[in-house]
Structure 1
Amino acid sequence: MTTDDMHSDRDACITLAHGAGGRQTAALIARVFARHFQNPDFTADDAAILPVGSFAAGRAAFTTDGFIVSPWQFPGGNIGKLSICGTVNDLACMGAVPRYLSCAFQIEEGFPLQDLEAIAAAMAKTAKTAGVRIVAGDTKVAGRGQVDKVFITTTGIGECMEGAHPSGSRAEAGDAIIVTGDIGRHGAAILVARRDFAIDAAITSDCAPLAAAVKAMFDAIPDRAAIHTIRDATRGGVGTVLHEIAAESQVGIELNTSAIPVAPEVRGVCGLLGLEPLYLACEGRLIIFAPQAIAPTLVEVLRTLPDSRQAAVIGRVTPDFSGRVVLNTEIGTKTLLPEPSGELLPRIC
């Protein structure tokens, strides 16, 4: 099949030949990936040569992540957008400006070419929004049933911002805890999209690249090191992230239940199925730990950006309850947020 053939056949699907490394593989790369990902650093060679020595702070952040979401397309995005957001956000949470990505595709034989093109287009659009370049990749085709339609693995390199050193081990007693928007939206959107429970709810994933929000926060304060911790609340949600940070920093965390933003439709789905919004995945939300004195500035900056208009302080770090997360309930009592165990629902990756 030539590139022209692939353009003319709207019913074309991925075949095993597309993963064999020959003419069909070259046509697929030209038809889909090279066309959407083209930029000055994109390469047809085995590896991209990148000018990382020019990074001002002399430090680079490096991360990799795999994405196997089902369904591959959901309200608010698809696996392509998700793969870029997830990797960009992991770099941003380490105080780095994302610069370069590579991506590897594992595609099931029979997957529609049009769908693969939609995924690549979403990746290109999201990468452009995030200011990052896709520079290299790999394509493998698996037999029917060996892959659930398409899996993507992305690797990213970011330029560390001078003076920024966020880490899960740096949370301190007295820190305010900020969330950048309503929680649990991605997990709820995936759950509804699967139609396993016949729930009719209009929930859109919060999937978004957040590097601009992180840079805006660091640029708004004189001492970048004052932002102690940043995490994106992906698989396992806000609750899992908070337990991880409490353990890493050996501190306690107190949350004000009434301050945690949850969309009514997400709360409704959770009520029907007995789920806790704090343990539903987000793909466009950050958790930030910083001193109380600068928290209002950070929230104000975040609220000027489209993906963090509902930013709010939801709690504080305390020297008490080391390693635990405590909820201050709306009726004035305290209760422990149980640590997650077993399989979290919905399983998204």
Structure 2
Amino acid sequence: MSKDKIVRMEHGAGGEAMQTLIRDVILKNITNRSAGLVGLDDLDDGATINIASNIHDSERSDEIVITTDSHVIKPPFFPDSNIGRLAVSGTVNDLAVMGAAPLALTCAMVVPEGFELDSFEKIIRSMNAAAEEVGVPIIAGDTKTVDRNGLDSIIINTTGIGIAYEVIRDCGLCPGDRIILTGTIGDHGISLLAHREGFDLNTDLVSDVAPLWNMIRSVIPIRTIEGKPAISAMKDPTRGGLAGALNEMAQKSGTGIIIDQKDLPIRGSVSSACEMLGIDPLEVANEGKAIICVKDENAEEVLSIIRKHEYGKDAAIIGEATDSNSGKVLMRTTIGSMRYVDTPTGDLIPRIC
């Protein structure tokens, strides 16, 4: 925490500063944590509630997964999408990477005085379209308005409830697991930055915002020869990008990770923009991609299935988990050298929420 003891922008950016805020301020002061529930301490994409343990029915083992997120992206409209699709997709994806089928969403909106009704209606329609895509209803909500001097754009909070028959956590990575990335990195962050700052990148690059449940659900049932789940861990690389997500998975799992630069799916326009702007593409946010860690024997099968879906056509195996360099992520560069991929620090550029 900073010496002057105030909240700064970097505390919400997804890097080390945000993790410090969560650990030293939020978790430190929340002691009323229900026994038997998995949530705050694990810092997964959602919290789980075991139905059997909470309704005293030993015949059932389903897990309810709950997640919530607030979206304050600026501007609310960006190439090929807007904050409404982002809000629904982000919440659906947080459920999906924990192996949970989305059951229902709630939505709370804070709208500033003067916000155009046509724009507001477009946002609502986008939310509805994203929800319909994965068959999840929006069942409750709340709308507040505030003085135009108190808020410069719309804020949307979405909470999702899902059910998982087998919960997949981001701490389940094991040595030997292969790491699949479901598509190109950096599309959302760079397209948003170019739109917001008025950069002419001579490209039709658009945001990758998408609800991923229909793609992810197709690989969850896959099993190893021994009948065990093929997928050991999943995570969506949003704030902090691929670098932040992989470091978190390595640290939680107690494994090392090695990725190959030559195997990273990245558009030439994103790579060029990052080089021009001095941004590491591994730290750029994504809103329609997932990291899927899978047993080596099932890696090609999972990859083949993912590639059949429109959101996974650029999927690739980018690396593997190791029993060395515990908690660290290394990248084998195109020239054959190795370098550490560090957890992002400070206020990441560009901010995506």
- SS of 1:104's equivalent? strand
Aligned residue in 2 for 1:97 = 101
- SS of 2:310's equivalent? coil
Aligned residue in 2 for 1:9 = none
Decide whether the 8 Å contact of 1:166 with 1:225 is kept in 2.
no
Decide whether the 8 Å contact of 1:254 with 1:316 is kept in 2.
yes
Aligned residue in 1 for 2:180 = 178
Identity of aligned residues (%): 38
CA 76–57 in structure 1, closer or farther in 2 if over 3 Å, else same? farther
> Is residue 2:281 matched to residue 1:277?
yes
- SS of 2:229's equivalent? helix
Aligned residue in 2 for 1:254 = 258
How far 1:200 sits from its partner (Å)?
A: 4.5
Decide whether the 8 Å contact of 2:221 with 2:229 is kept in 1.
no
Alpha-carbon distance between aligned partners in 2 of 1:152 and 1:339, rounded to the nearest angstrom: 28
CA 150–117 in structure 1, closer or farther in 2 if over 3 Å, else same? same
Alpha-carbon distance between aligned partners in 2 of 1:198 and 1:182, rounded to the nearest angstrom: 21
Residue from 193, 196, 202 that aligns with 1:194: 196
Decide whether the 8 Å contact of 1:57 with 1:159 is kept in 2.
no
- SS of 2:205's equivalent? coil
Alpha-carbon distance between aligned partners in 2 of 1:86 and 1:167, rounded to the nearest angstrom: 17
Correspondences of 1:182-331 after superposition (within 5 Å): 182-195=184-197, 197=199, 199-221=201-223, 223=227, 225-331=229-335
- SS of 2:115's equivalent? coil
Aligned residue in 2 for 1:22 = none
How far 1:221 sits from its partner (Å)?
A: 3.6
How far 1:338 sits from its partner (Å)?
A: 2.3
- SS of 2:350's equivalent? coil
Aligned residue in 1 for 2:8 = none
> Is residue 2:347 matched to residue 1:347?
no
How far 1:219 sits from its partner (Å)?
A: 3.1
CA 232–136 in structure 1, closer or farther in 2 if over 3 Å, else same? same
Q: Structure 2 length normalisation: TM-score? A: 0.81
CA distances 1:206-243 after superposition (whole Å, capped 9, x unpaired):
10000011110113446463311111111111110001
Aligned residue in 1 for 2:73 = 69
Alpha-carbon distance between aligned partners in 2 of 1:181 and 1:126, rounded to the nearest angstrom: 19
Decide whether the 8 Å contact of 1:218 with 1:224 is kept in 2.
no
Decide whether the 8 Å contact of 2:222 with 2:230 is kept in 1.
no
How far 1:196 sits from its partner (Å)?
A: 5.0
CA distances 1:246-293 after superposition (whole Å, capped 9, x unpaired):
110111100000000001111111011011111100000000111111
Alpha-carbon distance between aligned partners in 2 of 1:219 and 1:153, rounded to the nearest angstrom: 31
Residue from 62, 79, 84 that aligns with 1:80: 84
Q: How many positions carry a matched residue from both structures?
A: 296
Gaps of 5+ in 2: 1-54
- SS of 1:90's equivalent? helix
Q: What code does the residue aligned with 2:112 have?
A: E
Decide whether the 8 Å contact of 1:192 with 1:200 is kept in 2.
no
- SS of 1:219's equivalent? coil
Q: What code does the residue aligned with 1:187 have?
A: G
Decide whether the 8 Å contact of 1:165 with 1:225 is kept in 2.
no
How far 1:146 sits from its partner (Å)?
A: 1.8
CA distances 1:44-103 after superposition (whole Å, capped 9, x unpaired):
xxxxxxxxx9xx853211110000011101112100000000000000111100010000
Aligned residue in 2 for 1:168 = 170
CA 58–220 in structure 1, closer or farther in 2 if over 3 Å, else same? closer
Alpha-carbon distance between aligned partners in 1 of 2:192 and 2:149, rounded to the nearest angstrom: 21
Farther off after superposition, 194-203 or 252-261: 194-203
CA distances 1:14-51 after superposition (whole Å, capped 9, x unpaired):
xxxxxxxxxxxxxxxxxxxxxxxxxxxxxxxxxxxxxx
Aligned residue in 2 for 1:125 = 129
CA distances 1:107-161 after superposition (whole Å, capped 9, x unpaired):
010000110000000001110001100000000101113223201000000011x
Correspondences of 1:129-140 after superposition (within 5 Å): 129-140=133-144
Aligned residue in 2 for 1:20 = none
Q: Which has the larger radius of gyration?
A: 1
How far 1:304 sits from its partner (Å)?
A: 0.5
